């Protein structure tokens, strides 16, 4: 399973990339607004750091407007993947821009049927929102699992990208469900590195090493 970071904080992204485990980034205008920078400038900066897929969101509502916006955003950098929401207009736009070679991440997926429709329209990724589904009393990971099974059964090239990750355990469950990608907040990614037994083990090894005189 590939790992994307879900953030617009460039320092966190650099830290994740330095770890050697980050394959891409997902972001949106809300995350960029928190950074106090221009949207296009930050997307380009992220592309330069990551050198991998960077999802940037479209905010238009009609199919024609989404197509024009997707073309404009995709032209920013070869690594840009445009995020288009799961709506009737969105599906029409996905069909058109994917035929032009523009990569699309269909966002706001909440059911396997939505994932299937987005895949048939030509999406590169579909993003089930795990945390929001769980908040509403549904089994978010079931949507990931069933979407993966459908795509594999019919040999669809679209990848499932588990989104709205809240906890390190969500990442484990997404991997077990067969998700192709998980997009993870920086705080969760850095938590995944840590374990108290690892820390205590290092402390013990260092303490024992001090007992020996270097040769």
Active site (catalytic) residues: 83
Measured CA distances, 50 to 23, 100, 116 (Å)? 7, 24, 29
Whole-number Å distance between alpha carbons of 202 and 199: 5
Q: Is the dihedral of CA 181, 87, 68, 129 positive or negative?
A: negative
Rg (CA), the chain: 19
Closest CA to 170 of 137, 196, 131, 136: 131
Block residue for tokens 């013990």? 204
SS3 content of the chain, % helix, strand, coil (to 5): 50, 20, 30
b/e per residue, 193-205, with b = 16+ CB within 10 A? eeeeeeeeeeeee
């Amino acid at each position: 399973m590939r790992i994307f970071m879900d953030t617009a904080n460039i320092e966190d992204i650099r830290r994740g990339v330095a770890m050697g485990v980050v394959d891409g980034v997902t972001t949106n205008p809300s995350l960029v607004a928190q950074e106090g920078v221009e949207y296009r400038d930050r997307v380009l900066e992220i592309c330069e750091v990551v050198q991998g897929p960077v999802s940037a969101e479209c905010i238009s509502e009609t199919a024609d407007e989404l197509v024009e916006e997707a073309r404009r955003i995709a032209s920013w950098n070869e690594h840009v993947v445009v995020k288009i929401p799961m709506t009737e207009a969105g599906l029409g736009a996905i069909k058109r821009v994917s035929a032009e070679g523009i990569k699309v991440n269909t966002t706001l997926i909440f059911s396997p049927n939505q994932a299937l429709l987005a895949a048939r329209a030509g999406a590169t990724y579909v993003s089930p929102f795990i945390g929001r589904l769980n908040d509403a009393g549904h089994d978010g990971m079931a949507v990931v699992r069933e979407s993966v099974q459908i795509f594999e059964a019919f040999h669809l090239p679209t990848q499932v990208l588990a989104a709205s990750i809240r906890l390190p355990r969500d990442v484990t469950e997404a991997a077990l469900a067969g998700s192709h990608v998980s997009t993870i907040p920086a705080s969760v990614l850095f938590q995944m590195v840590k374990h108290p037994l690892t820390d205590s083990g290092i402390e013990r090894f260092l303490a024992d090493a001090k007992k020996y005189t270097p040769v």
